[in-house]
Amino acid sequence: MSDREAPIVLGWREWLALPELGIRAIRAKVDTGARSSALHVESLERFFERGAPWVRFSVLPTRDAQAAIACVAEIVDVRPVTDSGGRTTERPFIRSLLMLAGRSWPIEINLTRRTHMLFPMLLGRTAMAGRVLVDPGSSFLLGAPASP
């Protein structure tokens, strides 16, 4: 964030976009207690391309989405992540552009199954650091997307 840009104020849940993955709008829980961001994937297939690890996965941006969005990304790391229940699992991390309130910047996202969670995306504090302030008593301060 430059010195001229004021922080973006978010509620505890917001709509955001991941344009490099073809996701124009996805509901996200804004979670300052979570270090990393997480994305719920319906399917996940790892493969190698030009000697580098990649992943092919699909995302349902809303619970009532008619079709999953097919995505492909390079794996930038595999790290242990401890969930809110205290369970630690190794998860692949990708890097993608986040779009929020007319601004964009690259973030790391771990891919996992969030089947029983209300939000397919969790926006963690490392993705928000230095750019965002959170009002935990508000929701959807940025409004609804034009079309999810």
pLDDT in tens, 76-91: 999 999 887 889 999 9
Check pLDDT > 80 for residue 116: no
Per the domain annotation, does 78 fall within a domain?
A: yes
Nearest C-alpha neighbor of 11 from the set 130, 146, 147, 128: 128
Check pLDDT > 80 for residue 1: no
Between 23 and 83, name the one with better pLDDT. 23
Give the number of domains in the chain: 1
* Residue 25 belongs to domain with CATH number: 2.40.70.10
Per the domain annotation, does 58 fall within a domain?
A: yes
Per the domain annotation, does 72 fall within a domain?
A: yes
User: pTM of this prediction?
Assistant: 0.90
Per the domain annotation, does 128 fall within a domain?
A: yes
For range 32-53, the mean pLDDT = 94
For residue 104, the enclosing domain spans 10-132
Per the domain annotation, does 4 fall within a domain?
A: no
